Structure 1
Amino acid sequence: MELNEKIIELSKELKLSTISEEYHGVATTAAKENWQYVQFLHELLKLEVDNRMDRSKNTLTKLAGFPAIKTLEQFDYTFSVGVNRKQIEELANLSFIKKHENIVLLGQCGVGKTHLAIALAYKAVQHRYKARFTTISELLANATKAKKEKKYDSFLKSITSPSVLVIDEIGYFNMNKEESNHFFQIISKRYEKGSTILTSNLVFSKWTQIFAGDKITTTAILDRILHHSHIINIQGDSYRLKEKKDQGIINSDIYKFGAKSSNKMVEKTKVV
């Protein structure tokens, strides 16, 4: 076996798949361009690392369970009111993850809450942080199922492990006492251990109604969420309704009703 073949075999043995696949091509280029040995080695190792990084990002993206890929570059800052671009750009440096800080996005349906939540979590994935996306209904259904199957500890461990957990659509339905307790356990387990991004259509003063009217549980949950947090209160019209109006699918009266409802989110947020 010639030396080149031995190098490829050794690369495979060391699980350096990119080097084993790209060695011949890089070696040919190095010979033609008279590279130094150190440059040749650097190029091979760089290809291996870059390929592993790409595979890792793709795997993390799949595991995150995003309903769609959204990026910060795609977000329309001119449409939504209350989104401070500088604040979002600062969050995009991901220091909030290292500090285990939360992000709460408030606003009516269609103003871009979920887009920003996914975009920030996707940004985290691109930097090889583990992230997970879930709606509140899916999260509570999984918690209830785990409780019945006596796998609750494993469930809590799995929900605590991501560096970033996105919980979407809080406030679209009211929880019973058991579901409220599940949510409290999840928030408590992640408190100061991971970053949670939450979206809600309700200001904090109305969160008591979400948690079965229990002020004590609501206060305990908000205390942990808001202790280290960034609050973004988005105002404006529904982007989806605007698109339908522009296409002539809905009339102006329906669109104005959506805009009127959205303006109610201007209410000052406060802890109950």
Structure 2
Amino acid sequence: MSATDDLVPMLKKLRLSGVLQSLELRTNQAADDNLALSEFLYRLLADEVERREAKQLMQRVRRANFEHAKTIEDFDFTFNASIPKAKVLELATCAFVERHDNVLIVGPTGVGKSHLAQALGHRACRAGHTVAYVGAHELLVQLRAARGDGSSEKRLLRFTTPDVLIVDDLGLRGLAQDEPADLYEIVRRRYEDGSTIITSNRAIEEWPPMFGNPLLASAAMDRLLHHAHVLVIEGDSYRNPPPTRRKKAQAA
């Protein structure tokens, strides 16, 4: 039995079995480069730290349940000059998450709202934050179903406990029945306790009427807009640009 074989049960007991993946490589490297024992140990453990961080990032991204794998790096800022690139890059540092600020992204269909929202969510995952992505319609459907089966509190926790909640496409349709109250409850619970990113085709001024009740609307909007970054994006749809822009893109 080799020394490595003796190490296996010990490493498993210490929950360090991942070290075995690079042990032989680092051992050979230490011998070839005549590394000090402390340097050998540092490199071996650094490999394990890197593996664990990569695994944790994958788990956070998977649990976020993004609709698409979107990042800031693959966003085309050149397509639309109205997109505040400097502001987006500042938000990508995720300092807003630490401050529990909100991000509201409004504009017509196809200008990149969902891409930016999910890209900011991905950056938050990379920074170690928990993230949840959900379409506005799906969010309200889940809360309505939870009312029916008595699991409202459990379902609310799914949307109120993550560091960042992304609600995509709010306002595609009006809010009905208990939906305004459900949306308000999420806003209320997350206020100054987590960051909420919302995208919408409607201008901010059009959001209050969706709640139906002026008092409810005022309470919700007051909390949403306090410590909020509002990005207003205008311009053509990236997916369906006008003929002139499409010809230029094809020529390029």
TM over 0.5: yes
Quick one: distance in 2 between partners of 1:204 and 1:153? 29
Q: Write out per-residue CA displacement over residues 203-222 of structure 1, whole angstroms, 9 at most, x where no aligned residue.
A: 122123322x3222211111
Aligned position for 2:250: none
Quick one: distance in 2 between partners of 1:196 and 1:123? 14
Q: Say whether the 8 Å CA contact 2:236–2:242 is kept in structure 1.
A: no
Count of paired positions: 247
Aligned position for 1:228: 227
Q: Say whether the 8 Å CA contact 2:129–2:164 is kept in structure 1.
A: yes
Aligned position for 1:252: none
Aligned position for 1:183: 183
Quick one: distance in 2 between partners of 1:174 and 1:17? 53
Q: Write out per-residue CA displacement over residues 132-182 of structure 1, whole angstroms, 9 at most, x where no aligned residue.
A: 110100001111111111111111122111111100001100011301100
Q: Say whether the 8 Å CA contact 1:130–1:164 is kept in structure 2.
A: yes
Q: Say whether the 8 Å CA contact 2:164–2:195 is kept in structure 1.
A: yes
Shift of 1:42: 0.5
Query: Any idea what SS the aligned residue of 2:104 has?
Result: strand
Q: Say whether the 8 Å CA contact 1:63–1:132 is kept in structure 2.
A: yes
Shift of 1:33: 1.7
Q: CA RMSD in A?
A: 1.7
Q: Say whether the 8 Å CA contact 1:81–1:235 is kept in structure 2.
A: no
Shift of 1:243: 7.6
Quick one: distance in 2 between partners of 1:245 and 1:152? 50
- Residue identity over aligned pairs, in percent, reads 32
The reply on whether 1:47 has 2:47 as its aligned counterpart is yes
Quick one: distance in 2 between partners of 1:182 and 1:120? 25
Q: Write out per-residue CA displacement over residues 41-64 of structure 1, whole angstroms, 9 at most, x where no aligned residue.
A: 001100100000111111111111
Q: Say whether the 8 Å CA contact 2:106–2:204 is kept in structure 1.
A: no
In the superposition, relative to structure 1, how do residues 123 and 171 fare at CA in structure 2: closer, same or farther (>3 Å)? same
Quick one: distance in 1 between partners of 2:243 and 2:53? 40
Q: Say whether the 8 Å CA contact 1:77–1:83 is kept in structure 2.
A: yes
Aligned position for 1:251: none
Kindly provide the amino acid, as one letter, of the partner of residue 236 in structure 1. Answer: G
Quick one: distance in 2 between partners of 1:126 and 1:244? 38
Scaled by the length of structure 2, the TM-score of the pair is: 0.92
Quick one: distance in 2 between partners of 1:219 and 1:231? 17
Aligned position for 2:162: 162
Long gaps (5+) in structure 1: 249-272
Q: Write out per-residue CA displacement over residues 222-254 of structure 1, whole angstroms, 9 at most, x where no aligned residue.
A: 111001100000010111111888679xxxxxx
Q: Say whether the 8 Å CA contact 2:208–2:221 is kept in structure 1.
A: no
Aligned position for 2:64: 64
The reply on whether 1:192 has 2:192 as its aligned counterpart is yes
What does residue range 95-110 of structure 1 map to in structure 2 within 5 Å?
A: 95-110=95-110
Query: Any idea what SS the aligned residue of 1:103 has?
Result: strand
Q: Say whether the 8 Å CA contact 1:107–1:113 is kept in structure 2.
A: yes
Kindly provide the amino acid, as one letter, of the partner of residue 230 in structure 1. Answer: H
Q: Say whether the 8 Å CA contact 1:30–1:40 is kept in structure 2.
A: yes
What does residue range 1-272 of structure 1 map to in structure 2 within 5 Å?
A: 1-211=1-211, 213-242=212-241
Q: Say whether the 8 Å CA contact 1:8–1:23 is kept in structure 2.
A: no
In the superposition, relative to structure 1, how do residues 22 and 244 fare at CA in structure 2: closer, same or farther (>3 Å)? farther
Shift of 1:81: 4.2
In the superposition, relative to structure 1, how do residues 244 and 149 fare at CA in structure 2: closer, same or farther (>3 Å)? farther
Query: Any idea what SS the aligned residue of 1:166 has?
Result: strand
Kindly provide the amino acid, as one letter, of the partner of residue 65 in structure 1. Answer: N
Q: Say whether the 8 Å CA contact 1:60–1:131 is kept in structure 2.
A: yes
Shift of 1:117: 0.3
Shift of 1:11: 1.1
